[in-house]
Amino acid sequence: MKRRDFLATTALSASAFMINGCHRPYENEKDDNQTISTRRRKKTILKLATSWPAHFPIMGTGVDRFAKLCYEMSGGTLEIKVYPKDILVPAMEVFDATSAAQIDAFHSGVYYWKGKNSAFSIFGGMPLGLTSEEMITWLKFGGGYSLWQELYEKFNLYPLIGGTTGPQMGGWFKKEIHSLSDLKGLKMRIPGLGGEVMQKLGVNPILLPPGEIYTSLERGTIDATEWVGPALDSMMGFAKIARYYYTGWHEPGSILEVTFNKIRWEKLSKEHKAIITAATEDMTGYMLQEFRYKNAKALQQLPQQTKIKMFPNDIIEAAKIALNEVLDKEANANNDFKRVLESYQEFAKLNKKWDDISTKNFLEIRD
């Protein structure tokens, strides 16, 4: 899809939502038997708001698919109405709206809520840290998830893993970066912990809503931007205005979430809770595989002038030092951050020994 087509589709879909209220991908797929059995059972309808535009590729289509799966697995007794960003609540207010029970649930990125509690940025993924698969393993088996539940409970929220992006690219730069000194004074759109690290390396991190990134890069208001990976970056059109595409370090495995108002969650039937939990598991695996496949395809189709580059070693080494400074500072300021970081690091250490002799070793000999 070309950028213009993509934006037009998004705008069209958004206005269609205004009219119809929300997205119901399965409303024309009624099965007579199902309708009869649904009539006998009480139907639960939940309102879920997202931080993405309507049908936003992979993330938005992922949550649409999740809602459809919940509906089908429940025999039509559980209908999750998905509202794209800004229809019910603004993209960055879905956390508060769910916490206050204005809506039942949301689908978003965990790193967005760093301002609520800096510890949340660790659940969302760490620069130079765990990959998507490793993050999910830490959350499920290494103690991460129980900490996440505990800290979200203070906001009357119940979180579930709702997808993951896989490794993200380091971003699009208009000029080639030869060494650390080339970063000084550079204006880059980069959020989260990655932005804090870049700031220590001399970059001026800028926060911009997705709709303003392309124009800002084109006009030179910013010199560089990160986004996601080849599949989604291609739709943004960055390759037309920036030649150098750097490999990733700051988002090796970002975690998305489907989070419920906790009281609303507790009132759901055991059956519906199990269905939602299973559907989020399905969504997470599906999204990771979809990102992998579509990024691989989109990489092949990047324009010829695009140069894929790796950041020079002095930048990566400086980023490692800067990251430790950022983590120390947050851990000293916030005991929750310290506890979550300890759990994360304990798993990372345990995982590394096994990963080094299994996956890492294998990838090296396979090449």
Please provide the size of the chain in residues.
Answer: 367
Tokens representing 105 are 């649930």
Q: At what angle do helices 270-300 and 59-73 cross, to 10 degrees?
A: 150
Residue 67 or 188: the one with the smaller Cβ distance to Ca ion is: 188
Given 3-state DSSP classes, what are the helix, strand and coil percentages for the chain, each rounded to the nearest 5? 55, 15, 30
Residue closer to Ca ion by CB (options 142, 194) is 194
Which residue lies nearer to Ca ion by CB, 158 or 249? 249
CB of 110 to Ca ion, least distance (A): 13
Binding-site size for Ca ion (CB under 5 A) equals: 2
Between strands 187-189 and 224-225, the pairing is parallel
Measured from the CB of residue 230, what is the shortest distance to Ca ion in angstroms? 13
Binding part of the chain for Ca ion, among 236-244, 251-259, 273-281, 294-302 by CB under 5 A, reads: 251-259
Closer to Ca ion by Cβ: residue 288 or 331: 288
Which residue, among 106, 69, 101, has the nearest Cα to 85 in the 3D structure?
A: 106
Task: Pick the closer one to Ca ion by CB: 71 or 172.
Answer: 172
Map the footprint of Ca ion across residues 71-110, applying CB under 5 A. Answer: none
Amino acid at 299: L
* Residue 258 DSSP code: E
Binding segment for Ca ion among 150-158, 163-171, 281-289, 323-331 (CB under 5 A)?
A: 163-171
Residue (59 or 186) nearer to Ca ion, CB: 59
Amino acid at 58: I
- Return the amino acid letter for 309: K
**CA-CA distances (angstroms) from residue 237 to 215, 291, 302, 343?**
10, 18, 10, 39
Sole window of 43-51, 75-83, 166-174, 358-366 interacting with Ca ion (rule: CB under 5 A): 166-174
Residue 46 β-bridge partners: 80
Q: How far is the C-alpha of 95 from the C-alpha of 83, rounded, in Å?
A: 14
- Binding to Ca ion by CB under 5 A, coded x per residue (else -) over 264-303, reads ----------------------------------------
Minimum distance from residue 251 beta carbon to Ca ion (Å): 5
Provide, rounded to whole angstroms, the least separation between the CB of residue 2 and Ca ion: 22
Measuring CA to CA, which residue among 113, 66, 68, 118 is closest to residue 91?
113
Q: Which stretch binds Ca ion (CB under 5 A): 65-73, 94-102, 169-177, 244-252?
A: 244-252
Task: Enter the DSSP assignment of 214.
Answer: H
Characterize 196-209 residue by residue with b for buried, 16 or more Cβ atoms within 10 angstroms of its Cβ, and e for exposed.
bbbeebebbbbebe
Token look-up 């997705």 returns 210
Asked if 78 contacts 47 with a C-beta cutoff of 8 angstroms, the reply is no
Q: How far is the CB of 246 from Ca ion (least distance, A)?
A: 13
What is the pattern of x (binds Ca ion, CB under 5 A) and - over residues 176-205?
A: ------------------------------
Only segment of 61-69, 76-84, 209-217, 243-251 that touches Ca ion (CB under 5 A)? 243-251
Residue closer to Ca ion by CB (options 76, 253) is 253
Q: What angle do CA 348, 143, 328 make, to 5 degrees?
A: 55
Site string for Ca ion, 1-40 (x = CB under 5 A): ----------------------------------------
Q: From the CB of 109, what's the least distance to Ca ion, in Å?
A: 9
Q: How far is the CB of 139 from Ca ion (least distance, A)?
A: 19
Give me the phi and psi of 204, to 5 degrees please: -100, 95
Residues near Ca ion, by CB under 5 A = 168, 251
